């Protein structure tokens, strides 16, 4: 794990309880107005039988998908977030790093219909580890569904090219967060990197702010070839 990847991991250990409170009290505007509903819609449109929420955090998305009867699991490398997820009396949450995904066992589920990465691919190596895990954990023609910040908006004034960026986490709810780096990818880079691991782009969506009409996020749906 390089320095930036370690900083991301360390920041989540520090921020876990603050993040859980922010999600519990629905204090992130973009989630309330667009991105939460967008990822749920993207998953349900595929009518999956099973799912694995990779980087599940405190488990909100898993609970939304468990409710209509979709079978699945949530994994996260942060033990405090998994502890928060389990407070709802559900054992289908596991502490697991992305690098250990391919060897993890999920009781009765041997292969998943889809892997979901909702704002959870933050490091440079995350994409590689998840793509490789998909080769072992996905059924034939299984999907990887990714929601992330829209590159055209997230780029800001920096050059539109892959590379590490810094974030302050300012303006997120009423909490103080420890800053961490994240790895920026262009739209082309997202697609080409998954192509390199034998996935094809099945669908692309761009949820927008209902008032400004500017894209808030981007959703990729990749299919294992």
Q: What is the pTM of this model?
A: 0.96
**What's residue 171's pLDDT?**
66
Structure tokens at 207: 């949820």
* pLDDT tens by residue, 84-100: 999 987 889 999 999 99
Q: Helix or strand or coil: residue 63?
A: helix
**What's residue 42's pLDDT?**
98
| Domains recognised in the chain with CATH numbers | 3-224 (3.40.50.150)
**What's residue 88's pLDDT?**
85
Cα 115 from Cα 50, distance rounded (Å): 9
* pLDDT tens by residue, 140-199: 999 999 999 999 999 999 999 999 999 877 767 778 888 899 999 999 999 999 999 999
Residues 16-31: what's their mean pLDDT?
A: 91
Degrees to nearest 5, angle at CA 114 with 113 and 115? 145
**What's residue 179's pLDDT?**
87
Residues 37-48: what's their mean pLDDT?
A: 98
């Amino acid at each position: 794990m390089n320095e930036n990847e370690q900083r991301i991991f360390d920041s989540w250990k520090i921020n876990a309880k603050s993040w859980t409170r922010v999600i519990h009290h629905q204090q992130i505007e973009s989630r309330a107005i667009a991105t939460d509903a967008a990822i749920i819609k993207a998953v349900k449109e595929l009518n999956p039988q099973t799912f694995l929420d990779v980087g599940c955090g405190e488990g909100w998305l898993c609970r939304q998908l468990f409710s209509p009867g979709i079978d699945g699991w949530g994994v996260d490398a942060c033990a405090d977030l998994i502890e928060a997820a389990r407070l709802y009396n559900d054992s289908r949450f596991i502490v697991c790093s992305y690098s250990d995904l391919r060897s993890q066992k999920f009781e009765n589920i041997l292969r998943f219909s889809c892997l979901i990465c909702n704002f959870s691919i933050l490091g440079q190596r995350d994409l590689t580890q998840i793509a490789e895990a998909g080769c072992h954990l996905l059924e034939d023609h299984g999907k990887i569904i990714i929601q992330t910040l829209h590159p055209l908006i997230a780029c800001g004034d920096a050059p539109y090219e892959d590379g590490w960026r810094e974030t302050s986490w300012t303006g997120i709810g009423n909490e103080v967060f420890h800053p961490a780096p994240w790895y920026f990818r262009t739209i082309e880079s997202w697609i080409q990197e998954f192509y390199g691991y034998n996935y094809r782009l099945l669908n692309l969506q761009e949820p927008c702010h209902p008032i400004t009409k500017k894209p808030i996020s981007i959703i990729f749906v990749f299919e294992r070839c």
